[in-house]
Amino acid sequence: MKIVAATKILKANDQLAEENRARLNAAGVFAVNVVGSPGCGKTTLLEALFGHWRGRLRPAVIEGDIAGSVDAERIDALGVPVVQINTEGACHLDATMIAAAAESFDYAALDLLVIENVGNLVCPAGFDLGEHLRLVVLSVTEGDDKLIKYPAIFQRSHALVITKVDLLPHTNFKLDQAAAGMRRLAPEAAIFQVCALHGEGVAGLADWLVLQARAVPRSPSQSPRSQQS
């Protein structure tokens, strides 16, 4: 019987992630890994952001789902280049999947690559994809206790976006408690409150991401895991 340690799998993934990041840096493309639970509003948030980026950034999207292409079709309808990855059961994307999907894009025509990960607060936390920034999305309908229950994904993210704030009166979500939890897990992380459907707070997030994209070094950089360790 052969036993393969999980650390070896992660090491191989991290090596390929660094290669992905080096290619992005060389092309001047900024990559954002968007993580969060199913239904937290990741795709709706992206749809809102694209409107603010028009004329400022040239985006493309890699959509990760276990099955189907509903979200990719929504992105495609906006005229944004998109590639769908169906993991067929896997609960997260990995660097190998991103390397294969990215072959469909002409990096010379892009400024920004958005990776919408599979909806999950557990598995994506441990896998660097080669992104420059990891953004975790949490809806008020999920509860502020998610930062306590799933700390790793918040600790390893560079920004928290609290979505569906228009529904706050109908939940027991505590914004101050969520913010305090994020400051404890990732003291340097930015925190945003948005309602993507109505556009509330989206402009501020869009502007912040434009600044991050313009500031990224165009040489191989540290992985999100090393930055947050």
Report the pLDDT value the prediction gives residue 1, as an integer from 0 to 100: 57
Q: What is the CATH number of domain 7-215?
A: 3.40.50.300
What are the start-end ranges of the H helices in the chain?
6-27, 42-53, 70-77, 95-102, 146-149, 151-155, 175-185, 202-215, 224-228
pLDDT, position 225: 46
Spatial CB neighbours of 60, under 8 Å, sequence gap ≥ 6: 80, 81, 82, 83, 105, 110, 112, 113, 114
Instruction: Find out whether 82 and 50 touch, Cβ atoms under 8 Å.
Output: no
Q: What is the pLDDT along the chain (229 residues), one digit of tens a residue?
A: 545 455 666 788 999 999 999 999 999 999 999 999 999 999 999 999 999 999 999 999 999 999 999 999 999 999 999 999 999 989 999 999 999 999 999 999 999 999 999 999 999 999 999 999 999 999 999 999 999 999 999 999 999 999 999 999 999 999 999 999 999 999 999 999 999 999 999 999 999 999 999 886 655 444 554 444 4
Any idea what the Cα angle at residue 25 is, between residues 24 and 30, rounded to 5°? 65
Domain coordinates in residue numbering, the chain: 7-215
* pLDDT at 11 (0 to 100): 83
Q: What is the pLDDT of residue 137?
A: 98
Nearest partner of 192 among 159, 150, 155, 224, judged by Cα: 159
Q: Provide the pLDDT for residue 9.
A: 62
